[in-house]
Structure 1
Amino acid sequence: MPKQPPPDVLPGEPTRAVLRAGTPLFRVHSSHRDPAAYNSSPSHAFYFGGRFDSTPYDRYGYLYVGFSPGAAVCEVLLRSLAFPGDGGARLLPRKSFERRSLSFLTSAEDIEVVSLMSGADLSALGQDPWLVHTEGEDYPQTRDWGHWIRARTKPWAQGLVWPSKREPAERVAVLFDDRGHGPALEPTGAPPIDFGTAEGERWLNGVLTPYLARTAPRLPGRDD
């Protein structure tokens, strides 16, 4: 059932949730990117891309955040990183983090989102936990469902919120730039943590340790 196309009409009433102004949020992003800037590049409809990215079939700026540093790091960097099977730590490839940073953000206004937190929330949309737990091979389908939810919650829904797959004790959200009245997020003033620096890598390893993961060692002779 979960992978079937969306129905013609909403089965129930979507659950509204509000991220209150001043809510602390955390974003892992490419270091060159403005921490509060939306990604304006649509993903391919059928290949690559994230769970609820825009596509050429529904273009919008999007931005993913976690409600804790651990959730933000896990959702971006531990995606599909398997345990080695020998009880050792997972090794995070250097190319996956060296050009990324974590930024500290806050909601600049109340943000109204569709809740995907509970079974009841998902059932109102004709879905189950597949929508927020499935892995990347199903993301073309989750993107299609995301577009369908957006179309049926226009104009109020400024994003979606759901339990983090990789840190279930925390929440994550995607926000849209075509809803609301202005910039939804703003930096707190704390400097971003650049994972490409020695200090930033130490901080990252501190976050990764409870998840039995750490950054892979630098190859001998490499200076960059």
Structure 2
Amino acid sequence: MPNTQPPAAPPGTPAKVTLPAGTPLFRVHRGEWPATSFNPAPTGRLYGGGRFDATEDDGYAFLYAGLTTASAVCETLLRSIPFDSAGPRTVPRAAVRGRRLAFLRLTADVDVVSLMSGRDLAAIAQDSWLVQAEPHDYPFTRTWGHWIRRHTDPWAQGFVWPSKREPADRVTVLFGDRCPPDVVEESGTPPVDFSTPGGQEWLDTVLGLYYAQVGPA
């Protein structure tokens, strides 16, 4: 099963790709947090958190972002919402409240482990489960993420993989303990604030492409 313990060592060579300086990144985040801030708080081993968060077993600050606006929205708001035969997928209003989309870019080249292809995943004894698993499996994906970090130390500054709900696009996690300071900066494009009428309209347009909508207040 894909959520078994990792082997002693990868069966192949983990794939390295470089995200060059200037690469645009897009991040849906809570408005009270700076758009460029890394999350310094480890997630519990067994509950909550994201796919490749730090835990007490491997502590590091982390930042998730999409390489397109669509992947940023899909990863944050749609990743765990299945289709409903009765109508469009509904994003809870609480999931949107206080959030905005930030336009960022890398200030330096960043080397990441590619988890994009079957060949990439096979090199680390995995398959698409690692990047497609639902949140109930995140304790296992975090264990694998820590293991990949150990076997790509010190060069791997993050991972890149296909967005779960928009597999044509990529998403990334960056590791604060391996990236240079200020590796991410705001691009100068004003953020889209989902609490404003214009921001709500923008979000409705993106979600509509994925047969989804924000629920009532």
Fold equivalence (TM over 0.5): yes
1:63 aligned partner: 63
- 1:215, CA displacement in angstroms? 1.4
| 8 A Cα contact 2:97 2:194, kept in partner | yes
Q: Give the partner amino acid of 1:184.
A: V
Separation (CA, whole Å) in 2 of partners of 1:180 and 1:26: 18
1:26-48 superposed Cα distances (whole Å, 9 cap, x missing partner): 00111111101000011101111
1:17-66 superposed Cα distances (whole Å, 9 cap, x missing partner): 00011111100111111101000011101111100000011110001010
Structure 2 gap segments, 5+ residues each: none
- Percent identity over the alignment is 52
Q: Give the partner amino acid of 2:192.
A: I
Separation (CA, whole Å) in 2 of partners of 1:180 and 1:35: 16
Separation (CA, whole Å) in 2 of partners of 1:179 and 1:141: 23
Q: Give the partner amino acid of 2:212.
A: A
| 8 A Cα contact 2:79 2:164, kept in partner | no
Separation (CA, whole Å) in 2 of partners of 1:5 and 1:214: 38
Q: Give the partner amino acid of 1:121.
A: D
Separation (CA, whole Å) in 1 of partners of 2:90 and 2:109: 38
Separation (CA, whole Å) in 1 of partners of 2:116 and 2:122: 11
Moved over 6 A (4+): none
Separation (CA, whole Å) in 1 of partners of 2:139 and 2:176: 21
1:187-218 superposed Cα distances (whole Å, 9 cap, x missing partner): 00111111112211111001111100111233
2:165 aligned partner: 166
1:151 aligned partner: 150
Q: Give the partner amino acid of 1:9.
A: A
Root-mean-square deviation (CA, aligned residues, Å) is: 1.0
2:12 aligned partner: 12
Structure 1 gap segments, 5+ residues each: 219-224
1:133 aligned partner: 132
1:67-125 superposed Cα distances (whole Å, 9 cap, x missing partner): 11110001110122222212x22222111101111000011110000000111111111
Q: What SS class does the counterpart of residue 209 from structure 2 fall into?
A: helix
Q: What SS class does the counterpart of residue 101 from structure 2 fall into?
A: strand
Larger displacement relative to structure 2 (14-23 or 76-85): 76-85
- 1:176, CA displacement in angstroms? 0.4
How does the TM-score come out when normalised to structure 2? 0.97
Structure 1 position 204 matched with structure 2 position 183 = no
1:79 aligned partner: 79
- 1:129, CA displacement in angstroms? 0.7
Q: Give the partner amino acid of 2:102.
A: S
Separation (CA, whole Å) in 2 of partners of 1:71 and 1:168: 8
- 1:180, CA displacement in angstroms? 3.0
Separation (CA, whole Å) in 2 of partners of 1:119 and 1:84: 30
Q: What SS class does the counterpart of residue 52 from structure 1 fall into?
A: coil
Q: Give the partner amino acid of 1:168.
A: P
Separation (CA, whole Å) in 1 of partners of 2:30 and 2:85: 30
Larger displacement relative to structure 2 (36-45 or 74-83): 74-83
Q: What SS class does the counterpart of residue 167 from structure 2 fall into?
A: coil
The count of corresponding residues between Structure 1 and Structure 2 is 217
Q: What SS class does the counterpart of residue 211 from structure 1 fall into?
A: coil
